[in-house]
Amino acid sequence: MNLAVFASGNGSNFSAIVKAIKQRKIKMKSVILVCDKPGAFVIKRAQKAGVQVILVSRVDFSSRKDFETAIIQRLKNYKIDLIALAGFMRMLSPAFVKQYRNRILNIHPSLLPEFKGGHAIKDAFEDKVPFTGVTVHFVDEKMDHGPVILQEQIKIRNRDTLASLEKRIHSLEHKLYPQAIKLFCSGKIN
């Protein structure tokens, strides 16, 4: 099976996935990184790990359709079976999702359907909810929506700061995402 990880930023989930592959916890033939931000730190992580980087910058294309068509062509060149969104800060179009239906996973730092969007950890912290967590789900046409694969909660402690909560959430993400990918690869989910 061939995996493409899509990321736009730091890339800690990308690194957790690559580590699980290198430790043979996930069986993959190959993995590539698809990034839309030329200066993203995830590119350095990929280079250090020896992972092929496909940089596709949105500003190089006149339309979203052309941008996504370029990505799809590159995915076909690598015979990609599964896409893992790991901090890819763009909504994929319904046409893109349709092409890879039930083969795109996303990780989100909340217990979906609660706290959708780009500030989920902060929103949960500020709302003073007793629990938050992490969700891995299949991607559909809506933002932070689709069938849940794995979900795990953590208690927000009285002594938590936003920074300590973020750290605990990210640690949980690094555990859950490789597990979800392994479930997919073993045919236990589809």
Q: Return the active site residues.
A: 108
Which tokens hold the place of 93? 């179009």
Q: Are 142 and 116 in contact (CB under 8 A)?
A: no
How many whole angstroms separate alpha carbon 57 and alpha carbon 8?
A: 10
User: Mapping DSSP to helix (H, G, I), strand (E, B) and coil, where does residue 171 land?
Assistant: helix
DSSP 102-146: T-EEEEESSSTTSS-STTHHHHHHHTT-SEEEEEEEE--SSTT-S
- Three-state DSSP state, 188: coil
Residue type, position 21, single letter: I
Task: Find the farthest-apart pair of alpha carbons in the chain and give their distance in angstroms, rounded.
Answer: 50
From the list 135, 138, 128, 126, the residue with the least C-alpha distance to 153 is 135
